[in-house]
Amino acid sequence: MDFLAAAGQQIWQVLPLGPTGYGNSPYAARSAFAGNPLLISLDQLAADGLLSDEELPAIEPSDRVDFEAAAPVKRAALRLAAQRFGERADAGQRQAYDAFRADQAGWLDDYALFMAAHEANGARPWTEWAPGLAAKDPTALADFEGEHAEDLAFHCVTQFFFWRQWGWLRAYANQRGIRIMGDIPIFVAFDSADVWSQRGEFWLDQEGQPTVVAGVPPDYFSVTGQRWGNPLYRWEEMATRGYGWWVERFRHLLRLVDIVRIDHFRGFAAYWEIPAANETAVEGRWAPGPGRDVFLAARAALGEVPIVVEDLGLITPDVIALREELGYPGMKVLQFAFDSGATNPFLPHGFEQNLVVYTGTHDNDTTVGWFAERQGQEREYALSYLRADGSEIAWDLIRAAMASVADTAIAPVQDVLELGTEARMNFPGRPEGNWAWRLRPGQLTDAHALRLRELAEMYGRTPRPPENDGS
């Protein structure tokens, strides 16, 4: 946050914050509400007196996360800290924890039950648990709670740690003039507390298996499309309950971030429905989404929600009409801009104000890696348009983004650092090896901050001082 403030920046965008599941993907979280325990600072728990310095794992940070090695080390330290919290918490800490439990009961109890049961069943999907536990039979749940009270407490306390630490971080960000942009994945993971606890909201068979799943048809990223595998919502059922589950998702995330990015917004207009038995996304159909109704329900309950929509991919007129009706800014990605001449909609000279422009996103290669693969006319047009020689292509795109009329310009930190494909965050359609790049301490320097600030000042993107009212 200190770096962003020094660099004249005003928004920090983050990936979804949930506890990652299959493939370590933040878009396949164990819960749409819980925080990822791997993000909890053990150093802060030590400062709170819950761990000793000697108990902190001595790990030299690299630029790649080893999830399989990190998870058990982190879990053991969190177990110890949670146990000590139970033993040592003073009256004020217990009051704060009890208030958290009561305030978050709508999702926390189900999440703790799900995670404890998931671990007790060897991390097998919930459809493979004992029938009573899988079906949330009250007697089976009561028996499990009695046998695993310590595990349930661990997951609740761990979420309290996350909630408290993230709250401090957000408050510090806001004090420095930084707003956090969070992310709501449109779909949730099948093996999650959400699907287990809300079976009636999803298209599942009697055994709990999905009958249809989410994905996208063949596109720029994959010739066979992407079969994400998420169960699909029973939108008509959700409508009868006023989209209450979605309203609570918005309410919850707005307590963690300042702006909400809606992933795969086009799915609210129409989504790609794939029979669950199909191995690829080639065979499917467009099914109608709920349209504006979800957002109107959120607006009625929460007021105007600050939303940015991810409207990339196969965008049809109904998606554009829905975004424009709601008034939400969409996204433009400069890496898509140079392959089709002056009418390409991703070129900055055609932008409108109400959008967010990116050099690239977590689903793209880094700009340096992307440019290394450009050839022929696309490469020549990019260099001509940018009036550049390609030696600093990442900063050329950062400058183009900031110089555009788009209200907001965002660059991945990998582009600020001019890193290549080795720093790419995600390869869409590839199930393994993603989400592991890590920013090391000291990589961002005063020189980076100065360069960003100079561009932000040049193009009027620094925070404006309050107007003098003459008093």
Model confidence at 85, pLDDT cuts 50, 70, 90, reads very high
Residue 231 near residue 213, CB atoms below 8 Å: yes
Considering Cα of 164, then 169, then 170, then 175, what sign does the dihedral take? positive
pLDDT tens-place string over residues 331-370: 999 999 999 999 999 999 999 999 999 999 999 999 999 9
Confidence of residue 465 (pLDDT cuts 50, 70, 90): low
SS3 221: coil
**Does residue 195 contact residue 134 with C-beta atoms inside 8 Å?**
no
Average pLDDT over residues 302-326: 94
Q: Render pLDDT for 208-267 as a digit per residue (tens, 0 to 9).
A: 999 999 999 987 767 888 899 999 999 999 999 999 999 999 999 999 999 999 999 999
Entry pTM: 0.95
State how far the Cα of 246 lies from the Cα of 33, in Å rounded to an integer.
11
Sign of CA dihedral 23, 27, 31, 33: positive
Q: Is the pLDDT of residue 471 over 50?
A: no
Cβ contact 209:306 at 8 Å: no
Is 456 within 8 Å of 410 (Cβ atoms)? no
Q: Write down the pLDDT at residue 314.
A: 81
Indicate if the alpha-carbon torsion angle 156, 158, 159, 160 is positive or negative.
positive
State the alpha helices, DSSP H only, in 137-234: 138-147, 149-175, 193-197
Residues forming beta bridges with residue 307, ordered by sequence position:
260
User: 240's torsion region: left (phi>0), alpha (psi -120 to 50) or beta?
Assistant: alpha
Alpha helices (H) in 176-234, listed in sequence order: 193-197
By DSSP bridging, strand 179-184 and strand 212-216 are unpaired
Q: Mind listing the pLDDT tens digit for each residue in 101-116? A: 999 999 999 999 999 9
Q: What would the mean pLDDT of 395-422 be, rounded to a whole number?
A: 98
387 CB-near residues (< 8 Å, 6+ apart): none
For the chain, what is the mean pLDDT? 95
Active site members? 263, 310, 363
Token reading at 189: 């993971």
3-class DSSP state of 277: coil
Angle between helices 105-120 and 91-103 (to 10 degrees): 90
d(CA 431, CA 187): 17
Residue 470 has pLDDT above 60, yes or no: no
Measured distance CA(284)–CA(215) in Å, rounded: 9
pLDDT tens digits along 363-406: 999 999 999 999 999 999 999 999 999 999 999 999 999 999 99
Query: What is the structure's pLDDT at 21?
Result: 86
pLDDT of 304 strictly over 90 = yes
Distance CA 458, CA 151 (A): 54
State the average pLDDT over residues 288-307.
Answer: 97
Q: At what angle do helices 149-175 and 67-88 cross, to 10 degrees?
A: 100
Q: Strand, coil or helix: what is 237?
A: helix
pLDDT value at 466 more than 60: no
Q: Who's near 332: CB < 8 A, 6+ residues apart?
A: 345, 346, 351, 355, 356, 357, 358, 406
Output the pLDDT for position 368. 98
Residue 471 per-residue DSSP state:
-
| pLDDT at site 187 | 96
What distance in Å separates the CA atoms of residue 203 and residue 226, rounded to the nearest whole number? 19
Predicted local confidence at residue 61, as pLDDT: 76
Would you say residue 6 has pLDDT above 70?
Answer: yes
Cα separation, 30 vs 117, whole angstroms = 12
185, 263 Cβ separation under 8 angstroms? yes
Q: Furthest-apart CA pair in the chain: how many Å? A: 71
- How many other CB atoms are there within 10 angstroms of residue 416's CB atom? 21
CA–CA gap between residue 307 and residue 354 (Å, rounded): 12
Q: What is the pLDDT of residue 221?
A: 66
12 and 173 Cβ atoms separated by less than 8 Å: yes
How far, rounded to the nearest angstrom, does the alpha carbon of residue 228 sit from its chain's CA centroid?
16
| Residue-level pLDDT at 444 | 98
User: Shortest CA distance to 361 belongs to which of 15, 8, 10?
Assistant: 15
